[in-house]
Amino acid sequence: MDVGGKVRTNITNMQQYNPGLFLGICFSPDRKKLAFVKHNSSDLSNHIWTMDISGANQIQITNGANDLDPDWSPNGNKIVYDSYYTDTKKTYICMMNSDGSGIQKLACNLAGYDNQHPKWSLDGTKIVFASSDGVGSNFYLCVADQNGNLLAQYKALTSYGTSIYAYQPIWSPDQKTIVFTDEGTSSLHATPYQLNLSTKEFTKYSPLPQQFTIGGFFDWK
């Protein structure tokens, strides 16, 4: 659609998939392609696909049990995403070439945690992602370099010492802060937070600042 939401064009037609379940759509840096997740209603798996912006050349590029949250690197060569591994029953941050080749599980994953929602920094030098222990007690925001090596991890806690259910982190344009959602016990009541990387302080946004938009997840205008 156009920026006003008035001109809308259907660019997908995959009859073997539930047409209502398209997830995690992102543009390639040159805005000529899309990477997105399709839910397979026959086996309940999720796979990452790419296609031209016109809807042509639809290609499935992953075949895991549950592959989600693709994000294209700023140079267009790589895609990071998270993938559920049935052998360990954990989710890991993975990276692949933009054509789906060279899939690798990154070294930055916190052992024993579910690692999800990776996002590249605008200069392509870092990746932020969220990690959780799976029982709702410990949540971290983690930063890795462009090769997937862990640089830092920040335990998500309020000033009162309670856990923040950290999901869907994104970089600020100046890369000095990370904004993310606190889903609490319900994703229907997500609250935006900010992590200042210099002070390591977490700040709750209420009400939502004007520089953000929300459509299920938060993003910068």
83-112 pLDDT, tens per residue?
999 999 999 999 999 999 999 999 999 999
Checking if the pLDDT of 215 tops 90, the result is: no
Once rounded to an integer, what is the mean pLDDT over residues 15-41? 78
Annotate 32-61 with b (16+ C-beta within 10 A) or e (fewer). ebbbbbbbeeeeebbbbbbbeeeeeebeeb
Q: DSSP string covering 27-43, please?
A: E-TTSSEEEEEEE-TTT
Once rounded to an integer, what is the mean pLDDT over residues 9-32? 67
Residue 16: the pLDDT is 47
Tokens of 209: 């600042």
- Categorize the per-residue pLDDT at 163 as very low, low, confident or very high, splitting at 50, 70 and 90: confident
Q: In whole angstroms, what is the distance from residue 155 CA to residue 80 CA?
A: 22
pLDDT tens track for 31-54:
999 999 998 877 888 999 999 999
Tokens of 217: 């997840």
Once rounded to an integer, what is the mean pLDDT over residues 176-195? 77
Q: What's the sign of the alpha-carbon dihedral 167, 170, 175, 178?
A: negative
CA-wise closest residue to 164 among 147, 178, 183, 145:
183
pTM across the whole model: 0.85
> Residues 22, 127, 58, CA angle at the centre, nearest 5°?
30
Least confident of 1-10, 99-108, 110-119, 139-148: 1-10
CA-wise closest residue to 108 among 64, 146, 135:
146
Assigned CATH for 67-220: 2.120.10.30
Q: In whole angstroms, what is the distance from residue 182 CA to residue 221 CA?
A: 20
Once rounded to an integer, what is the mean pLDDT over residues 177-185? 80
Instruction: Name residue 14's beta-bridge partners.
Output: none
CA-wise closest residue to 190 among 213, 165, 209, 171:
165
